[in-house]
Amino acid sequence: MILAIAIVKGYQQQVRNKLIGFNAPIQVTHLDLNNSYESLPIEKDSLYETQVKRLKGITGIHSYCAKAGIIKTNEAFEGILLKGVTGTYNWEFIKEHLKEGRLLNPDEPTEIVISSITARRMKRKLNEKLLVYFIDEPPRIRKFTIVGIFDTGLSDLDELYAFCNEQVLRKLNNWPAHFISGYEITIANPEKVEETSAEVELITPIDKGVNSVFKRYPQLFDWLELLDMNVLIILLLMLAVAGINMITALLILILERSQMIGLLKALGARDRQVGRIFLFMALRIVLTGMIWGNLIGIGLALVQQQTGIIRLDESAYYLETVPIRLDWIGLLWLNVGSFLSCLLILLLPARFVSRISPVKTLRFN
């Protein structure tokens, strides 16, 4: 039970943090019905940026530009979404997953950072040139130099995004210097994305839309929530197995000591008093098992958390190792719930004591 909860909670947390880190928890863009990757531009507003920064829990607000293009080589071509950023962009997440090279130089308009998936498909390596075609009127081409290659494990997003200088995309879009695709807002507590998003929406002009990461990827977050059902099924199965084992153990204890039960009843002991004796004996076994279970379960979880010895296929699970998240309050409730459940389950076989006749057991002896 401990490992099931720790692994699923760890998996949910790490995948959620990856999704939040890749696109920022909150985005502010032009409010329209445009479902393409390129939204209508908005004007940079220093007063709005200041207001957002003053909100509780906000750690930063960064502008960006976005433009779709096609990467083409002699062997293949592939669509890509270029994300233009400035020198103040929050690179913490990409830096953590940077496999080769370095991050962008904000003063170099020809540099680009791509994913390992894109590099592998296009057969390009670090410091090589990359041509990107833009379907405009007329079509235009830009040559970039690959200065960094990242791999976040989120293949659906890795194969889509690449990072370049914001000024390049602004010129390609023929936008003035104060026009951008939108803002990305980072927060201190990823668990409060929806609350913070609602606060940002209150101070955002009506022509701009506020989208949280949960609204942009609802299918992925719904899938993560479904994992809770798997944990519930595992816990119920474990509890059923534990309950059957304890009922069996208690019945064996009662049958082995039927002579003692008959003697106690002959001396005047009531059924409830005798049943309580065996219930306490069974609960002692339960507590011993819980102590060992906690030591082994938490021990294995800590070993995996510190060493990452059990690995995963990142292309299938989005993570390199089995994740662990130990919630000590949750563990406390798990132990309390398990103990109370076993106590209720054991009340049934304890009533079997009342069916033992002292006359028959003593005569049989």
pLDDT tens digits, residue range 65-81? 989 999 988 777 888 99
Average of pLDDT values for 197-205? 91
Average of pLDDT values for 265-271? 74
| Helical (H) or strand (E) element with 141 | strand 140-150
111-140 pLDDT, tens digit per residue, is 999 999 999 988 899 989 999 999 877 888
Q: Which two tokens stand for residue 188?
A: 């201190």
Sorted by sequence, the CB contacts under 8 Å of residue 318 that are 6+ apart come out as 15, 18, 153, 154, 155
pLDDT value at residue 290: 92
Residue 34 — pLDDT band, cuts 50, 70, 90?
A: low
Compute the distance between CA of residue 288 and CA of residue 291 in angstroms, rounded to an integer.
Answer: 5
pLDDT value at residue 190: 79
Average of pLDDT values for 22-41? 80
- pLDDT averaged over every residue in the chain: 86
What is the model's pTM?
0.78
Closest Cα to residue 158, out of 226, 240, 98? 98
Residue listed under structure tokens 């502010």 = 28
